[in-house]
Amino acid sequence: MNEFRLFAHGETFDPDAYLASTTLKFDGVWHKGESGHNHPKSSGVFKVLGDGRTVPIVEQELIAIDYLTANREALKVLARVPGVTTFILGLQYHIEPEEGTIGFCLLPSTRLMSLVLDIGIEPAYYVKIDSRKESI
């Protein structure tokens, strides 16, 4: 699953009413109770920012910064829409740790953190650890 996206949702959020009132374009919408979605108890909207499986994390942050900067005011409005209780910028990071690695740390850049705090978005890093090594 590609998690390099921006999404907003909540149990009482009305995405249809919101979409009728905004100039922002979204790639998907879901409604409470629909099957096949990660959030069946809420309704929401999402915007895919790229393919997090192939775009390096540094590029993901740059793409996110550009999108957030270009849409800052409209996204601030979305953060305050009645019913929106979750507003997340998801970034996806794949790591193939070297032998002996026991942990790592991910932090958003200062610019990205400044933007998400200003808008009212929570950054989330979805990490996939691929520790499978081919035997020779």
Per-residue pLDDT of the chain (136 residues; tens, 9 = 90+): 678 999 999 999 999 999 999 999 999 999 998 766 676 799 999 999 999 989 999 999 999 999 999 999 999 999 999 999 999 999 998 887 777 777 778 889 999 999 999 999 999 998 888 766 554 4
- pTM metric for this prediction: 0.87
55 domain-assigned = yes
Predicted pLDDT at 102: 75
27 domain-assigned = no
CA 57/CA 76 separation, integer angstroms: 24
Predicted pLDDT at 40: 75
Say how many Å lie between the first and final Cα of the chain, rounded: 30
Predicted pLDDT at 135: 42
CA 60/CA 42 separation, integer angstroms: 27
40 domain-assigned = no
Look at the chain and report how many structural domains it folds into: 1
106 domain-assigned = yes
16 domain-assigned = no
From 128, 105, 130, select the one nearest 3 (Cα to Cα): 128
28 domain-assigned = no
Strands (E), 1-136: 5-10, 28-30, 43-48, 86-95, 122-129
125 domain-assigned = yes
Residue-number span of the structural domain to which 82 is assigned? 5-10+49-129
CA 71/CA 23 separation, integer angstroms: 10
87 domain-assigned = yes
